[in-house]
Amino acid sequence: MLKAAALYIVIIVSLLIAVISASLLTIAFYYRLEVQKKIRMDKLMTNMESGTAILLSEGFETYDGDKILDLYGDQKDSLILNKARWGVFDLQTLKSFELKDTLKCSFLSGNMFKDQGAIYLADEDRPLSVSGNTQITGNGELPKAGLKQAYVDGRPYEGKELIKGRIKPSGRELPPLDDELLKRIETYLKPMDGIPFDVKDSIRNSFFNKELIYKLTSDQQEISQVKIRGKIILVSDTTVKISSSAILEDVQIYARAIVIESGFKGSCQLFARDSIIIGRDCDFHYPSFAGVFKPDSSQIQAKVSLDSASHFSGILLGHESKRTDLQTLVSLGKNTLVNGEIYAGYIKVERTVNVYGKVYANRFVMQTPSTLYENYLIDITLNRKLLSKYYLSSPIFKGNKSEQKILKWLN
C-alpha cells in the first residue's frame, strides 16, 4: 500500500513541473517577442541608413516639406524625409517606422571641401606682395600681375618659395554666392514678429520641432546668464550684445549689429546688416558662421571684426549685391586663428594672423604704425593643408556643389 504522504509528493512534483513548464513557455514567448523586435529594429536601422543616403544624394532637392517613402511597397515600413535650411547649412530630419516602432534622427550637412586653394584674390591689375615671415601653403587664384617679394620696415621676404602650390589666374570679381540662400537670410534681417524673449535661465528646442523665433525689444540689447540651444532663432531690429556668460549652441541670431563680449565660447550663426564685433579671446566652435549682408541703401562699410587671440572655426563672410567704394570688410586682429573660409570685399589683417583654409577677397589691407598697405601680406600664414579633412563647407558658396556629408548630429 502507498502511504498517504505520497499523494502530497505527487501534487508538489506536479506543481513544480507546471511552474517550470509555464516559465519555459513564458520565456519562449518573450524571447520570441524580443527576437521579432530586434529584427524590426535592424530593419529600421537599415531603412535609416537608406534614408540618410537619399537625403544626402545630389538628386534630393525638396526643401521645407515632408516626403514620405515606402521603401519596399508593402505598406509596413516607411520613411519620412525632411530637408530644410538652417542658416547657411542644410538641416536634415529622418523618421523610419514600422507599425508602432519608430527611429528618428536629425543632423546638419555640408558640402565636401575639395578645393585645395589657400587664396583667391580678384584681379584689380595689381600684384600681391609678401614680406617677412609670410607663408602661403596651397593653390592660389591670383591676379595676372602675380606675386612679388617686398621690403617692409627694412625686412625682406624670408621664405624660399612665394607660394607652396599651383597658381592660376583669378577673375575680376569674387565667386558668386547662392541667390536662394541670400534671399532667405535677407528675409530674417527685415523687421519681423516673434515670441517675446523672456528666458531667465535656459531653453532648448529639439530639431524635430518647429523653430522658435524670439523677438528682442529695443531695451533687450544684452543676452547674458542664459543657455540657449537647438532650433531657436533670435531676431532684433537694433544692436544685440552677447555676454561671455551666455551659452549658445546651434542657434541663429539676426540683428542690425551684433557685439560679442571678450571670452565668449560657443557655436552659433550670426547675421547682421551693419557689423559683427567679436572681442578678445573668444572661441567659436565648429560649425559657426558670422556674416554681414549690406543693404543696397547702406552708406557705411559693413564689417566683421575678430579681435586679437580669438579662434573661429567656420565661415566669416561679408556680402553686398552691388560692389561699392565701401566694400564689406573682414578684420582679423593679432594672433587670431580661423579654421575655415573667409569671404569679403576687403580682408584686413594684422601681423601673426593664421588662416587654415581659404580666403576670398577683392583686396587685402594691412595697417602698420607708419603706413597703410594694400595687397600686402606681412607675417601672415595661409595654410590650406592644416584645415581638417573633415571640414565641410556651406552651400552658400555657389561654386562648391560637391557631395554632401553629415556635418553634425543634432538629436
In this predicted model, what pLDDT tens digit does every residue of 234-251 receive, in sequence order?
999 999 999 999 999 999
pLDDT tens column, 357-401: 999 999 999 987 778 899 999 999 999 999 999 999 999 998 767
Question: Are 302 and 331 contacting, i.e. CB atoms less than 8 angstroms apart?
Answer: no
Considering just the CA atoms, what is the radius of gyration of the chain in Å? 29
Position with higher pLDDT, 80 vs 268? 268
Q: What is residue 350's predicted lDDT score, i.e. its pLDDT?
A: 93
Contacts of 160 (CB under 8 A, 6+ apart): none
β partners of residue 292:
272, 318
**Per mean pLDDT, which range of 5-14, 198-207, 263-272 is the poorest?**
5-14
Q: Which of 139, 140, 143 is nearest to 172 (CA)?
A: 143
pLDDT tens column, 98-109: 767 788 999 999
**Cell reading at 31:** 524571447
CA dihedral 196→197→201→206, nearest 10 degrees, is: 80
Percent of the chain with pLDDT over 90: 66
Spatial separation of the C-alpha atoms in residues 213 and 209, rounded to whole Å:
12
**Vertex 230: Cα angle to 355 and 394 (nearest 5):** 35
Whether the upstream peptide bond of residue 287 has omega within 30° of 0, thus cis, is: yes
**Cell reading at 407:** 556635418
Spatial separation of the C-alpha atoms in residues 321 and 345, rounded to whole Å:
11
Q: Per-residue confidence at 289, pLDDT binned at 50, 70, 90? A: very high
Q: What is residue 32's predicted lDDT score, i.e. its pLDDT?
A: 79
Question: Are 182 and 205 contacting, i.e. CB atoms less than 8 angstroms apart?
Answer: no
Q: What is residue 365's predicted lDDT score, i.e. its pLDDT?
A: 95
Average per-residue pLDDT for the chain: 90
Position with higher pLDDT, 10 vs 325? 325
77 has pLDDT over 60:
yes
Spatial separation of the C-alpha atoms in residues 76 and 133, rounded to whole Å:
65
pLDDT tens column, 318-354: 999 989 989 999 999 999 999 999 999 999 999 999 9
8 has pLDDT over 60:
yes
10 has pLDDT over 60:
yes
> How big is the chain, counted in residues?
411
pLDDT tens column, 344-366: 999 999 999 999 999 999 999 99
SS (H, E, C) the chain: CCCCHHHHHHHHHHHHHHHHHHHHHHHHHHHHHHHHHHHHHHHHHHHHHHHHHHHHCCCCCCCCCEEEECCCCCCCEEEEEEEEEECCEEEEEEEEEECCEEEEEEEEEEEECCCCEEEEECCCCCCEEEEECCEEECEEEECCCCEEECCECCECECCCCCCECCEEECCCCCCCECHHHHHHHHHHHCCCCCEECCCCCEEEECCCCCCEEEEECCCCCEECCCEEEECEEEEECCEEEECCCCEEEEEEEEEEEEEECCCCEEEEEEEEEEEEEECCCCEEEEEEEEEEEECCCCCCCCEEEECCCCEEEEEEEEEECCCCCCCCEEEECCCCEEEEEEEEEEEEECCCCEEEEEEEEEEEEEECCCCEEECEEECCEEECCCCCCCCEECCCECCCCCCEEEEEECC
Q: What is residue 40's predicted lDDT score, i.e. its pLDDT?
A: 77
403 has pLDDT over 90:
no
Q: What is residue 76's predicted lDDT score, i.e. its pLDDT?
A: 65
Contacts of 19 (CB under 8 A, 6+ apart): none
4 has pLDDT over 70:
no
Residue type, 409: W
**Per mean pLDDT, which range of 136-140, 197-201, 289-293, 355-359 is the poorest?**
197-201
Q: Per-residue confidence at 211, pLDDT binned at 50, 70, 90? A: very high
Spatial separation of the C-alpha atoms in residues 23 and 289, rounded to whole Å:
60
**Cell reading at 195:** 515670441
1 has pLDDT over 60:
no
* 69: exposed, middle or buried (Cβ count in 10 Å: 0-12, 13-18, 19+): middle
Spatial separation of the C-alpha atoms in residues 94 and 75, rounded to whole Å:
18
pLDDT tens column, 136-185: 999 999 999 999 999 888 889 998 899 999 999 999 999 999 999 999 99
Position with higher pLDDT, 134 vs 9? 134
pLDDT tens column, 12-47: 888 888 888 888 888 877 777 777 777 777 888 888
